[in-house]
Chains A and B, each alone.
Chain A
Amino acid sequence: MAQAPFAGQETRQSHGLDQFCASLEERPGMSILDFAGASQATVSFVTNYGHRLYSDDFVRQLDQVFGPAPTGAGSPDFFENQANPALVADFFSLALNFEDASFDGALVWDSLQFLASPLLQMVVAKLHRMLRPGASLLALFHTEERIESISTYAYRIQDHRTIQTASRSQRRPAQIFNNRSLEKLFQDFSSVKFFLTRDRLREVIVKR
């Protein structure tokens, strides 16, 4: 049963999550990766399917390795540091230290927006290797162009098509994506499906 939302949190319907959850019903015993950080709601939801959940706070790991994220046009170190090979190696060791074909699904939420090239391409390539053939990946991208900063959220799954969000901070995205740039980003995957939402979010379901 879905939990009641906490004060200060919002819920939103998600077609992308609905598609992702359809893949969870294929069989029990899958391994699911969640980049939103552990929450009771998501843990209960995923494990109730009989799946194993691997949980980590990807954005927190980004900050830990590359420094505090810029909230506006200034303080570019966060993105400059993403080009530092030593820091990139640290980041992969800390946040993406998984063997190939470890997961049957990945919930990366909005975290990829805060990665600058070429780290973004490296992370997506690593995700491609970490996922098993047929695995699904759910990612969210803001669609609003010419924006200095966007809200980041803690994401929790309430039910198969409802996400509970809690605002965490404001951040400057590395870049804004359109359908074409996302197709290019996920070109090694077998399919990419988009859902455009009313709140200027593009939900993306990618199949390995």
Chain B
Amino acid sequence: MWNRRKEEEPLPPPRTAPAPPTSSQLAKEGIPMSTLPSRPTDTRSEGVRGGAAIIGKSVVLKGQVYGREDMTIDGEVEGTVELQEHRLTVGPNGKVVATIKAREIVVLGTVHGNIETREKIEIRKEAKVVGDIRTARIVIEDGAYFKGSIDIVRAEAPKPAAVPKPQPVASAGASSPAAAASAGDVKR
């Protein structure tokens, strides 16, 4: 009897793979998004290079973007972008309205929002950046537009280990060449 009823049941439709969620759905749900490494199509700039996650120029993302790999944004992103230990490239078609944190950022497109980098930001000649920047180093090419404040955050020198001080050879009043060079940069 059990076997007979089972035979009468219609066969289930063939299983199809569920449609993958879109990037915007992932971002809205706060799911960490990862993309396969691929080579960008636009290779005319060294700022856009392979081995990075890519948000293509037809993609619109709203929400939080976290990453543990380098990323190139050539589409539109609104929200926050965090790639703490990695490099973000905003491609020539990229439009980012977001707070950005990354190790290093290269902007060839448009960014509206505050930016924090641990190492360096480069604003290329066609780029437009509006927002406040905190970084260790900055490069601004001629022709780039920037509106906002720039805070250069100097990396703190590592504290010397607690070892016995060697006896000074020179007189106590002599300053180190490094200190003199540093002072020469800023003093008249």
Q: Determine whether B151 belongs to the interface, using a CB cutoff of 8 Å to chain A.
A: yes
With A38-B140, A43-B138, A52-B151 as known contacts, state yes or no: A1 contacts B185, CB within 8 Å: yes
**Bound CA span A40–B139, Å:** 6
Among A31, A43, A54, A56, the residue within 8 A (CB) of B140 is A43
Q: Determine whether A190 belongs to the interface, using a CB cutoff of 8 Å to chain B.
A: no
Inside 8 A of A52's CB, which chain B residues have their CB?
A: 149-151
With A39-B140, A40-B139 as known contacts, state yes or no: A21 contacts B149, CB within 8 Å: no
With A1-B185, A25-B187 as known contacts, state yes or no: A47 contacts B147, CB within 8 Å: no
**Bound CA span A164–B141, Å:** 15
Inside 8 A of B142's CB, which chain A residues have their CB?
A: 6, 39-40
Q: Is the CB of A55 within 8 A of B146?
A: yes
B114 CB to closest chain A CB, in angstroms?
Answer: 13
Instruction: Count CB-based A-B contacts (< 8 Å).
Output: 54
Q: Determine whether B4 belongs to the interface, using a CB cutoff of 8 Å to chain A.
A: no
Q: Determine whether B6 belongs to the interface, using a CB cutoff of 8 Å to chain A.
A: no
**Interface majority SS (helix, strand, loop, mixed), chain B:** strand
- Please tell me the number of chain A residues within 8 Å of chain B, measured between CB atoms: 22
A147 CB to closest chain B CB, in angstroms?
Answer: 28
Inside 8 A of B138's CB, which chain A residues have their CB?
A: 40, 43, 47
Q: Interface code A39-80, partner B: CB below 8 Å = 1, 0 otherwise? A: 110010001111011111100100000000000000000000
Q: Which of A6, A25, A38 has the most CB of B within 10 A?
A: A38
Q: Determine whether B157 belongs to the interface, using a CB cutoff of 8 Å to chain A.
A: no
Q: Is the CB of B146 within 8 A of A160?
A: no
Inside 8 A of A60's CB, which chain B residues have their CB?
A: 145
Q: Determine whether B59 belongs to the interface, using a CB cutoff of 8 Å to chain A.
A: no
**Bound CA span A67–B138, Å:** 32
A47 CB to closest chain B CB, in angstroms?
Answer: 4
Q: Interface code B105-142, partner A: CB below 8 Å = 1, 0 otherwise? A: 00000000000000000010000000000000011111
Report which B residues bind A (CB closer than 8 A).
123, 138-142, 144-152, 154, 185-188
- 10 residue pairs, one from A and one from B, having the closest CB atoms: A38-B146, A47-B152, A54-B149, A56-B147, A40-B140, A53-B150, A52-B151, A48-B186, A38-B140, A160-B188
**15 CB < 8 A contacts A-B:** A1-B185, A25-B186, A38-B123, A38-B144, A38-B145, A40-B141, A43-B138, A43-B140, A50-B152, A54-B149, A55-B146, A55-B148, A55-B150, A56-B148, A57-B145
